[in-house]
Copies of this chain bind each other. A is one copy, B any other.
Amino acid sequence: MKLDLTSIIKNEQFTALYHEMILGIEKESVRVTDKGTLAQTNHSSKFGNRNFHPYIQTDFAENQIELITPPCDSSQGVLDYLAAIHDVFYRTADERLWPASMPPEFTADQIAVAKLDCQEDVDYRNYLVKAYGKNKQIISGIHYNFEFSNRLIQFLYQDSQSAEKFEFQDFKNEIYLKLARQFTRYRYILTYFYGATPFAAKSFLNQDEKLDQPVRSIRNSNFGYVNHFSKATPLDSLDSYANHILEQVNSGALIHEKEYYGSVRLRGAKNLTELKKTGIQYVELRCFDLNPFEPYGISKKMLDFIHYFALFLIFKPEVGDCHQGDEMNCLVALEHPNAPTAYSEEGQELLYEMKRFYRNIKAEPELIELIDHYIRKFDHPEYTLASRMLERDLFKIATIHFERAFKRPFQLAGFTQMELSTQNILFDAIQKGLKVEVLDEADQFIRLSFEQHQELIKNGNMTAYDNYISALAMENKLVTKKLLSEVDIQVPNGYEFSQIDQALAIYPIIKNQAIVIKPKSTNYGLGISIFKQAIAYEDYKSALEFAFKEDQQVLIEEFVEGTEYRFYVLDGQVKAILLRIPANVQGDGIHTISELVAKKNDSIYRGTNHRFPLEKIQLGGIEKLMLKEQGLTIEAVPKNQEIVYLRENSNISTGGDSVDMTDQVDESYHRIAERVAKILKTVVTGVDIIIKDKDVPANESNYKIIEANQNPMMQMHIFPYQGQGRRVTKMMVDYLFPEID
């Protein structure tokens, strides 16, 4: 029964579905020193236990890592995970990765079998050393784990009338078997484009092996890492495929199923015996060399091309025995990188056919362009990876990739669209060996897991350990004040009003007092007015109207003299204290305020929308008004050393500066912040305390609690403008997963 999907091609539903797939990448790399030689360090213990790390594992050798992405539903998703895992690797291990599949020059003693806890795994590696030699094992590559979406396969099944011929899982098996055969037949095309092991380190070749010239892919040639089978593994049915490999194991040609190094593996169960029962769920394409020019070893173009190449192949009619492709691939692999390939004509024709196929289904123009891009490479071997590698210094490239990870050390590559606190907690979780999932990107909703233990987290702070009513109590300034004041924690005295008339009636009482007028619930200083001396009735009225615009209830509180500090409390302990200074610039006698702001904003640490440790200073209405009140404009030139403030409020989100004070504030205030957290029954809170003198121990008249925040900003503690960073996201991860050392 031959698979025929041609009826689908004109179906417009297919146009909406064709891009759906699930993809996961495994990428091996050897670690190298800052001289470019194989690293002799152990796998870093900072990654926690490699027995369970979902993303960062040791491969064959101790100095060879394997980076693993989870299955993603887009190539960009895969690349994002790869980027993130690389960021974590580089910044944690502080070591370079060799960018190519072929290792740098080495000696045998530089390769130690991975020091795994499991003796079986070590024995297996020692067997491989004997069977293939250490040198062959140190070669690295990329495995492309590919699955069509269930919705797409369901559609193909229904709309091709295959449902009349096959059970659903049989149909699925057919799809993947056809893909495996066609891939075997045509993979030489990918070797032509992507082959990227032109040279071998001298120590790589065995004594009987000799290479006279650069080639496209040593790794894809017979010099690579191949099984010594007499016969190609059949791909006509799942059973014959599985039985062939199992026979090799039984006969002793392989020590284990996993020693099967075919360029396609059929996957979907924990072993082949099981797979025969459950059927194929996805394929593992194993023939790809690392692309040394890409920071993460593979490009989006490459991920996409392979995907659409694979999809096309299941539609293309099969011709002849697929295993003729093995020899073709070997031959292409050993061609000179600058020479055209022997199969240029067939290859080019296939890509033209692929282009027609995608035009036919009205695929997006970007895909047509991508195919054109690859068609051109047949006439230009110099565009292929192997050719481009001929004159390049791989160690220099390794250094560029390495340094890239430190350019914005506060971010997590691949997740930069999320809030910085979430990026940081994802970094810390990956480092610790937790599984990380983004449940809703826009909502900063993630899940971390370790074995059966799962934790949901939103905005880095909100977890299952805080109770709902405490969070709501903190959101409500009135309730917070009541709960604190009744246990004699000092809060500002004041009034609350829901009608402006009632608030106006107390004018005689407050008119000579220093007061703050603020909406009951608001953030970032919106609607707040501060009066430090005698208040005119009209000003009082305006301030009330201003506040009532933000909330139906308004608080009038005594203005408290002193300095406001933010205490970050986690699990009953103050973990960080921050002084926030309103947005400001320091003059140099030369530049205008506008220029000074631009210069200050130019820092890589300043951005917008919580994606950076600090926010850019704005020059909007509020800032200009504040300047006007000081008799200044944005064109004024402040004196050398003069500090000009652009905001009354000190929020980081309005361009303020952050100064770590964790070790500089008297311990008695730590105890107060901790007591606030205890009274409010909260695990995480950011307590704002106004302190008269941070060096004088707290008493009932020298501090006031302004508020407790249920979702306190984390990034400002991690990357303060001045002072020591406090990695509160890591503390959170450690708090959530105490079972991991």
Q: Name the residue on B nearest A466 (C-beta).
A: B468
Is there an interface contact between A469 and B458, defined as CB atoms closer than 8 Å?
Answer: yes
A15, B472: Cα distance in complex, Å = 36
Is there an interface contact between A508 and B15, defined as CB atoms closer than 8 Å?
Answer: yes
Q: Given that A467-B466, A469-B456 are contacting pairs, would A16 and B440 also be in contact in the complex, using a CB cutoff of 8 Å?
A: no
Is there an interface contact between A468 and B464, defined as CB atoms closer than 8 Å?
Answer: yes
Question: Smallest distance from the beta carbon of A441 to chain B beta carbons, Å?
Answer: 9
Q: Given that A457-B469, A466-B467 are contacting pairs, would A509 and B443 also be in contact in the complex, using a CB cutoff of 8 Å?
A: no
Q: Is A478 an interface residue (CB 8 A)?
A: yes
Is there an interface contact between A508 and B464, defined as CB atoms closer than 8 Å?
Answer: no
Is there an interface contact between B508 and A478, defined as CB atoms closer than 8 Å?
Answer: no
**Contact partner, A476, options B445, B467, B505, B553, Cβ 8 Å:** B445
Is there an interface contact between A13 and B508, defined as CB atoms closer than 8 Å?
Answer: yes
Residue numbers in B under 8 Å from A465 (CB-CB): 467
Q: Categorize the interface residue count of chain A.
A: 35 or more
Is there an interface contact between B552 and A442, defined as CB atoms closer than 8 Å?
Answer: yes
A424, B361: Cα distance in complex, Å = 61
Please tell me how many copies of the chain the complex holds. 2
Question: Smallest distance from the beta carbon of A51 to chain B beta carbons, Å?
Answer: 25
Q: Is A498 an interface residue (CB 8 A)?
A: yes
**Contact partner, A509, options B17, B463, B478, Cβ 8 Å:** B17
A12, B504: Cα distance in complex, Å = 13
Near B by CB (< 8 A), chain A positions 415-474 give 439-440, 442-443, 445, 456-458, 462-473
A482, B457: Cα distance in complex, Å = 15
Is there an interface contact between A507 and B16, defined as CB atoms closer than 8 Å?
Answer: yes
Q: Is A479 an interface residue (CB 8 A)?
A: yes
Residue numbers in B under 8 Å from A692 (CB-CB): none
Q: Is A267 an interface residue (CB 8 A)?
A: no
Residue numbers in B under 8 Å from A462 (CB-CB): 468-469, 472
Q: Name the residue on B nearest A456 (C-beta).
A: B469
Is there an interface contact between B469 and A463, defined as CB atoms closer than 8 Å?
Answer: yes
Q: Is A316 an interface residue (CB 8 A)?
A: no
Q: Name the residue on B nearest A13 (C-beta).
A: B508
A470, B457: Cα distance in complex, Å = 10
Q: Name the residue on B nearest A681 (C-beta).
A: B464
Is there an interface contact between A482 and B439, defined as CB atoms closer than 8 Å?
Answer: yes
Residue numbers in B under 8 Å from A400 (CB-CB): none
Residue numbers in B under 8 Å from A506 (CB-CB): 16
Near B by CB (< 8 A), chain A positions 487-517 give 498, 505-509
Centre residue among A11, A465, A467, A505 by max chain B CB count within 10 A: A467
Q: For chain A, what secondary structure do more than half of its interface residues adopt (helix, strand, loop), or is it mixed?
A: mixed
Contact digits for A146-168, partner B, Cβ 8 Å, 1 yes 0 no = 00000000000000000000000
Is there an interface contact between A467 and B469, defined as CB atoms closer than 8 Å?
Answer: no
Residue numbers in B under 8 Å from A710 (CB-CB): 468
Is there an interface contact between A508 and B472, defined as CB atoms closer than 8 Å?
Answer: no
A468, B498: Cα distance in complex, Å = 29
Is there an interface contact between B16 and A478, defined as CB atoms closer than 8 Å?
Answer: no
A498, B471: Cα distance in complex, Å = 29
Is there an interface contact between B472 and A445, defined as CB atoms closer than 8 Å?
Answer: yes
Question: Smallest distance from the beta carbon of A181 to chain B beta carbons, Å?
Answer: 30
**Contact partner, A479, options B17, B440, B469, B498, Cβ 8 Å:** B440
Residue numbers in B under 8 Å from A553 (CB-CB): 442
Q: Given that A468-B463, A468-B464, A471-B468 are contacting pairs, would A442 and B479 also be in contact in the complex, using a CB cutoff of 8 Å?
A: no
Residue numbers in B under 8 Å from A456 (CB-CB): 469-470, 472-473, 479
Question: Smallest distance from the beta carbon of A197 to chain B beta carbons, Å?
Answer: 39
Question: Smallest distance from the beta carbon of A32 to chain B beta carbons, Å?
Answer: 40
Residue numbers in B under 8 Å from A457 (CB-CB): 469
A464, B483: Cα distance in complex, Å = 15
Residue numbers in B under 8 Å from A15 (CB-CB): 508
**Contact partner, A478, options B12, B439, B476, B507, Cβ 8 Å:** B439
Residue numbers in B under 8 Å from A470 (CB-CB): 456, 464, 468
A479, B506: Cα distance in complex, Å = 48
Residue numbers in B under 8 Å from A11 (CB-CB): 508
A469, B467: Cα distance in complex, Å = 8
Q: Given that A470-B464, A681-B464 are contacting pairs, would A478 and B440 also be in contact in the complex, using a CB cutoff of 8 Å?
A: yes
Is there an interface contact between B16 and A443, defined as CB atoms closer than 8 Å?
Answer: no
A-B contact pairs, 23 of them (CB 8 A): A13-B508, A15-B508, A16-B507, A439-B479, A440-B476, A442-B498, A443-B479, A445-B476, A456-B479, A458-B469, A462-B469, A462-B472, A463-B468, A464-B467, A464-B470, A466-B467, A466-B468, A466-B469, A467-B467, A467-B468, A468-B468, A468-B470, A468-B471
Query: What is A's interface to B at a CB cutoff of 8 Å?
Result: 11-13, 15-17, 439-440, 442-443, 445, 456-458, 462-473, 476, 478-479, 482, 498, 505-509, 552-553, 681, 710
8 closest Cβ contacts across the A-B interface?
A12-B508, A466-B468, A464-B467, A456-B469, A13-B508, A16-B508, A16-B506, A16-B509
Given contacts A439-B476, A462-B472, A468-B471, 12 further A-B contacts (CB under 8 A): A13-B508, A13-B509, A16-B506, A16-B508, A17-B509, A439-B482, A442-B498, A443-B478, A445-B473, A445-B476, A456-B473, A466-B467
